[in-house]
Amino acid sequence: MTGATQTEERQATAAPAIELRGISKAFGPVQANKDISISVKKGTIHGIIGENGAGKSTLMSILYGFYKADRGEILIDGKPTSIPDSQAAIAAGIGMVFQHFKLVENFTVLENVILGAEDGPLLRPSLAKARRSLTDLSREYELNVDPDAVIEQLSVGHQQRVEILKALYRQAEILILDEPTGVLTPAEADHLFRILDNLRKEGKTVILITHKLREIMEITDTVSVMRRGEMTATVKTAETSPEELAELMVGRKVLLRVDKKPATPGETVLSVKNLKVTDGQGVERLRGISLDIKAGEILGIAGVAGNGQSELMQVLGGQILNAKGEITLNGQPLALSGHSADGMARRAAGIAHVPEDRQREGLIMDFAAWENVAFGYHRDPAYQKGLLMDNAGLLRETEGKMERFDVRPPNPRLAAKNFSGGNQQKIVVAREIERNPDLLLVGQPTRGVDIGAIEFIHQEIVRLRDQGKAILLVSVELDEIMSLSDRVAVMFDGSIMGFRDPATADERELGLLMAGIEGEPDQPAWKAIEENMKAVEDGGTPPNG
């Protein structure tokens, strides 16, 4: 590498790595990109942020040759470049890491990387030579990928690194990553950011698409904000703030931190003792969970997905009917098996449930919004009119709920599938919260939800807490757990690793607990976490657990 000043001088005079001028693209009546212009300097990380549907993926697909722009120009290193297909993109030095990887599962890393590269710039390299250059690249950028590993045996994080490796092997100078951290654990995301930093240091140009403000603030040099197909601003990351970016994304001021008073917990509402669940394969998913939640309190469960959080919610919500242990609600024991433990019985007992997977469990997609509002409560006397359901009453009630929860469009006759993800979630949250439950179970309340709606859903959960309800919150977003909860429990491998006060908890320690590690290890945290995750994936016992 040359000296820093020389590098800076070269960058100042060099043409931008990528320049887009006046790009527009419509899909039928939807104007996905409107007259978009950006310029990205070589050797920088440029973020593109925007809510779902803002047009980010469309713009990058145009740059990668998947879509043809209706209008506009692409310049690579200052030269007008036509990119009719992905071959042309690769030839222009552009690599793309997709949200859903395009790897052949039962091939090795090496095989995947050279697959289709033969007719590229590196005419049929020998396997030995290819393996060597993969090993070099892997070391240079801290990718830590074994060329001979089989894809299906790799973690999601490693598979993503194979995609990066593939792009680098094809001599990409510009790397585009579309929402890369959505599938990663916090430790894997940290590792990815180190890799991106290494790429930047080597003079590569990175475009990072995300809807997470924290990632933008952490790693990018410049950021462009998209809203409804338009590029609303491009700013230097060091000169902006999450609040400003949120406002640019949503078009109004957004409260990023949950505004809540300290909890004033009352009597114990939920008490769980030594809860155990074994799945159909005989694997113990819950290994003796004990917890209490008081009235007026939010207990948040932090953890990497798949460590028993879902099973805990499903036992409490009545979807798993073969648990062992003890549960009481307001001092009354709840059944753990059979009909009297099912969803209907749970609702009758005063438990409401916003399930993690709203598309599968929370809504019937082909049914209208008002029918979905009745769903799960259809035997409730409040919704009965003689032997029939009171449809007109339900329609009216749904209209009211849609208005209060700002569901758009506020049309109760529209099928659930025709609402955006955020509005679907608002329908489920409205239905459950308005039941006025003693205990609300909330799983991943804001997954795939726009930040404007996140703010609203969080406020509703806090409002319910302040009415003296008990709330059990499960989320893989540590930020969400930390800002919303009054107490945090960390789950790992079916057990609770510990309870912490979010006001005083150390996020690094929480990250370690999430990986099953107690106390202070003397190795770097990310390394211990990776080893543990790999061991768990392989079905063994974590070395640091």
In the complex, which residues of this chain contact Mg ion (CB under 5 A)?
Answer: 57
For residue 32, state whether it binds ligand ADP (rule: CB under 6 A): yes
Kind of pairing, strands 284-294 and 268-278? Answer: antiparallel
Q: Which of 244, 245, 298, 250 is nearest to 270 (CA)?
A: 298
CB 470 within 8 A of CB 295: yes
| Residue 23 vs 312, nearer CB to ligand ADP | 23
For residue 65, state whether it binds ligand ADP (rule: CB under 6 A): no
- Using CB distances below 5 to 8 A depending on partner kind, what does residue 232 bind out of Mg ion, ligand ADP, none? none
CB of 178 to Mg ion, least distance (A): 6
- Using CB distances below 5 to 8 A depending on partner kind, what does residue 16 bind out of ligand ADP, Mg ion, none? none
CB of 414 to ligand ADP, least distance (A): 16
Tokens (6 digits) for 368:
């209208």
- Using CB distances below 5 to 8 A depending on partner kind, what does residue 52 bind out of ligand ADP, Mg ion, none? ligand ADP
Select the residue interacting with ligand ADP from 16, 43, 47, 53 (CB under 6 A): 53
Query: SS3 breakdown of the chain: % helix, strand, coil, rounded to 5?
Result: 40, 25, 35
Stretches 56-64, 354-362, 382-390, 403-411: which one binds ligand ADP (CB under 6 A)? 56-64
CB of 179 to Mg ion, least distance (A): 6
Select the residue interacting with ligand ADP from 14, 30, 127, 305 (CB under 6 A): 30
For residue 57, state whether it binds ligand ADP (rule: CB under 6 A): yes
CA–CA separation, 370 vs 436, rounded Å?
18
CA–CA separation, 532 vs 541, rounded Å?
8
Stretches 15-23, 47-55, 372-380, 482-490: which one binds ligand ADP (CB under 6 A)? 47-55
Select the residue interacting with ligand ADP from 56, 227, 285, 353 (CB under 6 A): 56
- Using CB distances below 5 to 8 A depending on partner kind, what does residue 30 bind out of ligand ADP, Mg ion, none? ligand ADP
| Residue 179 vs 438, nearer CB to ligand ADP | 179
Phi, psi of 256 (to 5 degrees): -85, -35
- Using CB distances below 5 to 8 A depending on partner kind, what does residue 93 bind out of ligand ADP, Mg ion, none? none
- DSSP sequence for 324-354: EEEEEETTEE---BSGGGSHHHHHHHTEEEE
Residue type, 449: V
Determine the length of the chain: 545
- Using CB distances below 5 to 8 A depending on partner kind, what does residue 108 bind out of ligand ADP, Mg ion, none? none
CB 287 within 8 A of CB 477: no
For residue 364, state whether it binds ligand ADP (rule: CB under 6 A): no
Select the residue interacting with ligand ADP from 52, 153, 278, 330 (CB under 6 A): 52
Stretches 24-32, 153-161, 256-264, 323-331: which one binds ligand ADP (CB under 6 A)? 24-32
Angle at 126 between CA 122 and CA 131, to 5 degrees: 90
CB 398 within 8 A of CB 405: no
Report how far apart, in Å, the C-alpha atoms of 384 and of each of 94, 372, 380 are. Answer: 60, 16, 7
For residue 54, state whether it binds ligand ADP (rule: CB under 6 A): yes
| Residue 109 vs 453, nearer CB to ligand ADP | 453
Stretches 53-61, 86-94, 269-277, 337-345: which one binds ligand ADP (CB under 6 A)? 53-61
For residue 511, state whether it binds ligand ADP (rule: CB under 6 A): no
For residue 469, state whether it binds ligand ADP (rule: CB under 6 A): no
Q: Please, which residues have CB within 8 angstroms of residue 447's CB and are 6 or more apart in sequence? A: 356, 425
Q: Which residues of 57-82 are buried (b: 16+ CB within 10 A; e: fewer)?
A: bbbbbbbbbebebeebebbbbeeebe
Rg (CA), the chain: 25
Select the residue interacting with ligand ADP from 43, 47, 50, 422 (CB under 6 A): 50
Angle separating helix axes 391-404 and 421-433, nearest 10 degrees: 110
CB of 104 to ligand ADP, least distance (A): 25
Q: Which residues of 330-358 are buried (b: 16+ CB within 10 A; e: fewer)?
A: eeeebbbeeeebbbebbbebbbbbbbbeb
CB of 56 to Mg ion, least distance (A): 5
Tally of CA atoms within 13 A in the half-sphere of 130 that contains its CB: 23
CB of 67 to ligand ADP, least distance (A): 7
- Using CB distances below 5 to 8 A depending on partner kind, what does residue 117 bind out of Mg ion, ligand ADP, none? none
Phi, psi of 436 (to 5 degrees): 55, 55
Stretches 16-24, 45-53, 429-437, 465-473: which one binds ligand ADP (CB under 6 A)? 45-53
| Residue 24 vs 171, nearer CB to Mg ion | 24
Judged on CB neighbours under 10 Å (0-12, 13-18, 19+), 398 is: buried
CA–CA separation, 419 vs 377, rounded Å?
21
| Residue 72 vs 343, nearer CB to ligand ADP | 72
Stretches 25-33, 312-320, 361-369, 483-491: which one binds ligand ADP (CB under 6 A)? 25-33
- Asked if residue 29 has a cis previous peptide bond (ω within 30° of 0), the answer is no
Stretches 52-60, 401-409, 414-422, 497-505: which one binds ligand ADP (CB under 6 A)? 52-60
For ligand ADP, the binding residues in 393-432 under the rule CB under 6 A are none
CB 111 within 8 A of CB 103: no
CB of 386 to ligand ADP, least distance (A): 43
CB 448 within 8 A of CB 422: yes
| Residue 55 vs 93, nearer CB to ligand ADP | 55
CB of 55 to Mg ion, least distance (A): 8
Q: Tokens 């996905």 belong to which residue?
A: 32
The residues binding ligand ADP (CB under 6 A) are 27, 30, 32, 50, 52-58
